[in-house]
Amino acid sequence: MSSPSTLVQPVPRRADRRLDTAWLGGVCSGLAAHLNWPVLVLRLGFVLLSASMGIGVLVYLVLWLAMPLASEAPQAPGIEAASRSGMRTVQAGYRVPADLGLISAVALLGAGLLWFVQAAGWGAPAAALWPALAGTFGLMLIWWQADHIPNRSMKGLTGWRRWFAPLLAHWSRIVRILLGLLGLVTAVVLIVVALPPLPEGSRTLIVLGLVVVALLLAAAPWIIRVRRSLATIREEKMLADARADMAAHLHDSVLQTLALIQRQAQNPKAVAALARRQERELRSWLYGETAVDAPTVKAALVASAAEVEDAHGVDIDIVVVGDRDLDAEVRPLVQAAREAMVNAAKHAGVAKVDVYAEVDDDAMEVFVRDRGGGFVLDDIPADRMGVRGSIIERLRRAGGNATIRSAPETGTEVRLEMKR
């Protein structure tokens, strides 16, 4: 049994916001679930940071925009496929009842800390504090509304109705949005009032800049949602194209082969040959090992293994590391390797032959191994040229070397090597 240290650890999931247990935007709930911390500790931490020059509020707003909703976060492929096929149903819209007493206690703690910091002279000046409070209130109210727009409200809608109709579906949403905009307007007015005397043109530019910034901040959740929706659409299109490509390939190859196997059911040899050929084609398609126009050593070895499989009904498991062009210098090695595969398939009496090759520009090695009964090279009659002539002598004339090890207990291994 493997020790716990050798077990594969799951990949950490991206943090998301949890609205089912949220008090406001779900940031603390999401971080608590991601970090496996008590959520109350994080909430108190944000309150303490907020009392110090509003750092906690700024961090909270940034995380509110950066962290996706749990309903929008990507799921594991298996869970996503099960949900898509209807095998996994999730109750949407369920929300854990909030503890109003605890919420009130934390809110009072935050207000008390803010009053203490301001009274002690450690906080922000009043000219900056009140606009910040008004703007934060407006943003949080608008962003909270953006989080609680049900996706089903946008189904069947197009154009501007897709985004504005859900907002106007109930009077309470209109009221909350108006209150949020009022908070932003109040913040802009307080900032403008606190400005020192400036030329009229400069004051107008500052007001316009503040209005643009306020509108962009208010619309930020919808802008981010549109970007994420477009990214999701692109990913879904890529997945749909991949599934369509796979379905077309399965129809053109696998299903056709299965039909041929059904017709050849009384011929086991033909069925095995069809299955081996289809396995090679499917592996090549799955792993991108398609044939290339220029002949290479790897392509020649794989093709030789396929020919031997089809001719002798033996599985050949071939692994080739590296590659180079197939020229007259290295062709004898490929031919010798093919002859070694043929000998193993014909005489070893096994169902599988292993082939391993290392190919680079300076040297090449090919190992052909079976786990059959083995043989003694000296016992082979002189008129049988399969091993001596087609493997050993052929490779020696090309400047290479062939080594054969064979024993009844371990089978036969043919090692072919050639150096430049």
Which among 342, 409, 339, 403 has a CA at the least distance from the CA of 371? 409
For CA atoms 195, 201, 206, 211, the dihedral sign is positive
Confidence (pLDDT) at 102: 65
Give CA separation, 411 vs 2, 98, 334, in Å. 32, 72, 22
Q: What is the pLDDT, as a whole number, of residue 3?
A: 40
Q: What tens-digit pLDDT sequence spans the chain (420 residues)?
A: 334 444 444 445 677 887 777 777 788 888 888 888 888 888 888 888 877 777 888 888 888 888 887 765 555 555 555 555 555 554 444 455 555 666 666 666 666 666 666 666 666 676 777 888 888 888 888 888 777 665 544 555 555 555 555 555 566 777 878 888 888 888 888 888 877 887 878 888 888 888 898 888 888 888 888 888 788 888 888 888 877 777 776 766 777 777 777 777 777 777 777 777 777 777 777 766 554 444 889 888 988 888 888 777 788 888 999 988 888 888 889 989 988 898 888 888 888 899 999 998 888 999 999 988 888 776 776 666 667 778 888 888 888 898 888 887 788 899 999 987
Count of CB atoms within 10 A of residue 221's CB?
21
Tell me what pLDDT residue 268 has: 78
Burial class (CB in 10 A: 0-12, 13-18, 19+), 318: buried
d(CA 351, CA 378) in angstroms, rounded, equals: 26
Q: In the chain, where are the structural domains located?
A: 12-71+96-229, 291-419
Element (H, E) at 416: strand 411-419
From the number of C-beta atoms within 10 Å of its C-beta (0-12, 13-18, 19+), residue 31 rates as buried
The pLDDT of residue 6: 40
Strands (E), 167-322: 315-321
Residue-level pLDDT at 93: 45
| Predicted local confidence at residue 417, as pLDDT | 92
**Whether the Cβ atoms of residue 406 and residue 377 lie closer than 8 Å to each other:** yes
Report, in angstroms and rounded to the nearest whole number, the Rg of the chain calculated over CA atoms: 36
Class (C level, CATH) for 291-419: alpha beta
Contact predicate 414/360, CB 8 Å: no
pLDDT value at position 77?
A: 54
pLDDT at 57 (0 to 100)? 82
Q: In the prediction, which pLDDT does 357 show?
A: 93
Distance of alpha carbon 254 from the chain centroid:
27
- The DSSP code for 71 is T
